[in-house]
Structure 1
Amino acid sequence: MARHALQPGSVIDGFTTGERVHRGGMATLWQVSRPDLAGPLLMKIPRISEGDDPAAIVSFEMEQMIVPRLSGPHVPACFATGDFATQPYVVIEQIPGQTLYQRLPELPLPYDEAVAIACKVAVALADLHAQHVIHHDIKPSSVMFRDSGEAVLIDYGLSHHAQLPDLLQEEFRLPFGTAPYMAPERLLGVRDDPRSDLFSFGALLYFFTTGERPLGETETLRGMRRRLWRDVHPPRKLRADYPPWLQEIVLRCLEIEPAQRYPTAAQLAFDLGHPFEVTLTARADKLTRDPWRTVWHRRFNRGAGLPQPRTDAAANLAAAPIVMVALDVGESAAELNEALRVATARLLSTLPAARLACVNVLKLGRLTIDRTLDEHDNNKHVDRLVQLRHWASRLGLEEARLTSHVIEAIDPAAAVLEFAEVNRVDHIIIGARQQSLRRQLLGSVSAKVAAEARCSVTVVRPKRAGE
């Protein structure tokens, strides 16, 4: 292989190299430019000289396969790749700013700031998983932020793509990753479960809110294997003021068994964005780790230590969507709401891991000053929340799968669409009333939602008399 001796001013496939900005254990980064491409660019080149880790080559092959297939604001744009026959490289956009690694001297961060960061990272993970990719190296140095606010996940050399060969799995037996953030199942050779990223996310959020790593700095494989049976110290043991709802989220992410974590990053992001809707369990109040009896049972339970069954990541995402039902709680909507309940129950019966968000829009006047109390001096917002929960009670869902939301807005359709977009809703169920002259002239809320939503929409109509 005829490789280039890189230095500032070298030209590779039309790219002119500038300053070398980073030299890592597996690759180097160079600033590059090309006349037909605007904006700052980076060229990533693997370290493949004598004595370098052979895993660097395989890792770079994975990155070359995966990065060009990614899109969206949460990943760096890819512009070109180079062949190993001449000079292997990947050219990506250079994201301005620094990674979360630079924030480590400030830890622990204030809770509100850490949660705001975590929300953005969870949304980025949800987007990545929707593109069939598991990152497998979520840590502070893998997270950046655009000027527009979105989190960007970088470094895909250890990633798994559900539709591509997993060269790391095929060629190596030891797990690759960053020890303080590595999920337990990774030690068993499991690389196809997106919930591994949620464990790493939990370790990151724990670290940023307590200032301590939940799993320590263990680097030996023997030491790391303890996480297969030993849980972490609850954050409230380290900080007495730690919010119970936040501990609930963190410890759920850090569950040893993947099945006990959030089913998807989208559902995790939903809880982070709605802290007062988080269902609290025994996790929220824990002050100590699990008793030794539980630990020994995990360690010596028959079958422990064996690789878990392979997980279809796409099927897992499809089985655990966020479903939103938009309701009108007025008395005149009773018949329609019953039809909505039937449609919602039918859908949820096929999706045992789905999350349901019941939403009502409290319409505001464009020119008037709206009163918070109705004619009976009841708070409109609270009254509607009660009605939403009453409507949902007959569905028989566990608390952890159900939330209720009253949105105050001038435009109901726009409010429904915005809620669905911000909360990464997968399916909207909305009712449509019978046609009227006003709806024919102005258009209905359900029609606008069905036309403009970026997710699937089911429009439900009540049965007419005689049907």
Structure 2
Amino acid sequence: MDSRLYSQTLGYTGKDGEQTGSPLHAGQVVDRFRLEEKLHVGGMAHIWRVSEVNHSGDSRLPLIMKVPRIKGGEDPATIVGFEVEMMIMPMLSGAHVPKFIAKGDFTRQPFIVMECIEGLSLKPRLDDAPLALDEVIEIGSRVATALHDLHRQHLVHLDIKPSNIMFRPDGTAVLVDFGLSRHDHLPDLLDEEFMLPMGTGPYMSPEQVQFVRNDPRSDLFALGVMLYHFTTGERPFGQPDSVRGLRRRLWLDAMPPRALRADCPPWLQEVILKCLEVKPERRYHSAAQLALDLQNPSQVALTRRAERLQKSGAIKTFKRWFFALGDEPGQQRDKASDQLARSPIILAAVDVDNATGELLERLRETVRRIVVTEPGARLACVSVMKTARIGMDELVDEQGQSLHVKQLVGLKHWARPISKGLNLDEGRLTFHVLEASDAAAAIVEFARRNQADHIVMGARGASGLRRFLGSVSSQVVAESDCTVTVVRAAGAPTLEPPA
């Protein structure tokens, strides 16, 4: 890739090295888009508000055009990064990315037209750090949810930072700027053409420093850096501006957040430091598993990470430095989607109060068989405590015991043989009692919110009332976005895909 080639194609180079042959201006029409107002001038691109000349269905969206700042002979990475983004954006869909509209070729005028996400990025919030803990947790949960959606679309972002995160009016996190990203189904031009680590210094993962660009857990490291900064007001690894400085994170760990902020709870420190582990395999296996912990603090399994109040000692640091000297991992062959496939969230929906012993045993055995084939799986055991649509609910039984706690105990009792048989640690097994009038809707919503990959649930035997009203399992099958396995008491388990 030679930036001088594009200089010759697009015009001559001005004093500052930027293309000036045909400068863009308000009112100009580029392809079918009219430039209305220049919104932003960044180091790598101009952002214009545009309108579509020939109205179409997509023209109702507010639109922006991103145009690269091409500097002749100076910054080929800018050109390659923009080319990467032009390839990647049409491959992505959903609420967590701007809707792609059109692109222009480098032979005429390179640009990308996309949906305009109203509002500011997270970058201004850095000036307000440390933030309230509730806001830190909410930001982390929403961004982790967005990351998991992109990872499922075979993308590793590789440049997660506050300036690349925006929010829709309903609070949905939107990730932008895919110039450094890698997609499983596209050539990795940055890896092919450059021999330097690619990313933003404070947020780069150790493996990115070592030229590994295909691990989705790199994005979890960057999110951990962001959560650390929002929690403490400090960057965990400073702001290095050299490869030598970047490599220090291979052996130097961050000051524990609780040492900088006394009201940081141990569970949040556990989550943040787990994201910042040097070895990817010691981090969360998926962004969905991280989001699940952030949404369920009481379920976070605490380790020594949660107790730390100072950095590692000199001897341990020296050992890390010594082993890091020769630790240069080769490029992984796995795709981003392969890592996610090994780290599913399995949701076991258990009716602990009404299911027969036979059905509970069959359900337990089915769950056990599924989990045993997925070494990185997270098992979320869910039970629904039915509440009345109208009127008051009894929250205690005849002995005055909490019905919620009673159901939670029953759920844990059901799962105990699974956890013991498979030696599941607490970090891979969580329990949730949902209070809802509609059990099926509660299960579907929990699965969707926590991005479950597989729901396993039981179905009671046929009856006239069940045929008339419909069953919880059939409703879950019809409305769920993921695979649903329905286990029946009289017969073998059957796999019912979602409608």
Q: TM-score, normalised by structure 1?
A: 0.97
1:125 is aligned, of 147, 154, 160, to 147
- Match status 1:445 vs 2:463: no
What amino acid does structure 2 have at the position aligned with 1:362?
Answer: M
2:46 is aligned, of 22, 25, 28, to 28
Matches of 1:302 and 1:133 in 2, distance apart? 28
Equivalent in the alignment of 1:17: 35
- Match status 1:150 vs 2:172: yes
Post-superposition offset of 1:301: 2.3
- Match status 1:350 vs 2:373: yes
Equivalent in the alignment of 1:420: 447
Within a 5 Å distance, the mapping from 1:15-414 to structure 2 comes to 15-35=33-53, 36=55, 37-301=59-323, 304-310=326-332, 311-330=334-353, 332-396=355-419, 397-414=424-441
Post-superposition offset of 1:328: 1.1
What amino acid does structure 2 have at the position aligned with 1:321?
Answer: P
Post-superposition offset of 1:308: 4.2
Matches of 2:491 and 2:76 in 1, distance apart? 70
Post-superposition offset of 1:53: 1.0
Post-superposition offset of 1:331: 6.1
**Deviation readout 1:153-204 (Å, 9 max, x if unpaired):** 1111000101100000000010121101110111111000010000000000
Give the secondary structure class of the aligned counterpart of 1:90: strand
Distance change in 2, residues 1:308/1:392 (3 Å): farther
Post-superposition offset of 1:51: 5.0
Give the secondary structure class of the aligned counterpart of 1:407: strand
> Which stretch of structure 1 is more off in the superposition, 456-465 or 360-369?
456-465
Asked whether the equivalents of residues 349 and 443 of structure 2 are also in contact (C-alpha less than 8 Å), the reply is: yes
Matches of 2:398 and 2:362 in 1, distance apart? 29
Give the secondary structure class of the aligned counterpart of 1:394: helix
Asked whether the equivalents of residues 298 and 304 of structure 1 are also in contact (C-alpha less than 8 Å), the reply is: no
Matches of 1:134 and 1:318 in 2, distance apart? 15
Distance change in 2, residues 1:441/1:24 (3 Å): same
**Deviation readout 1:427-460 (Å, 9 max, x if unpaired):** 0001011100000100010111111110000000
Post-superposition offset of 1:296: 1.9
Distance change in 2, residues 1:92/1:302 (3 Å): closer
Return 5+ residue gaps in structure 2 as ranges.
Answer: 1-8, 12-21, 493-499
Distance change in 2, residues 1:15/1:398 (3 Å): same
**Deviation readout 1:125-168 (Å, 9 max, x if unpaired):** 11111111111111110011001110111111000101100000
Distance change in 2, residues 1:367/1:18 (3 Å): closer
Post-superposition offset of 1:367: 3.1
Post-superposition offset of 1:362: 0.7
Post-superposition offset of 1:282: 0.6
Post-superposition offset of 1:463: 3.5
Asked whether the equivalents of residues 26 and 53 of structure 1 are also in contact (C-alpha less than 8 Å), the reply is: no
Matches of 2:341 and 2:455 in 1, distance apart? 15
Matches of 1:206 and 1:192 in 2, distance apart? 24
> Which stretch of structure 1 is more off in the superposition, 15-24 or 124-133?
15-24
- Match status 1:8 vs 2:30: no
User: What percent of counterpart residues are identical?
Assistant: 52
Alignment length (residue pairs)? 465
CA RMSD of aligned residues (A): 1.5
Post-superposition offset of 1:263: 0.6
Matches of 1:425 and 1:353 in 2, distance apart? 14
Give the secondary structure class of the aligned counterpart of 1:92: strand
What amino acid does structure 1 have at the position aligned with 2:249?
Answer: R
**Deviation readout 1:188-236 (Å, 9 max, x if unpaired):** 1100001000000000000011100111111121111111111111001
Asked whether the equivalents of residues 17 and 32 of structure 1 are also in contact (C-alpha less than 8 Å), the reply is: yes
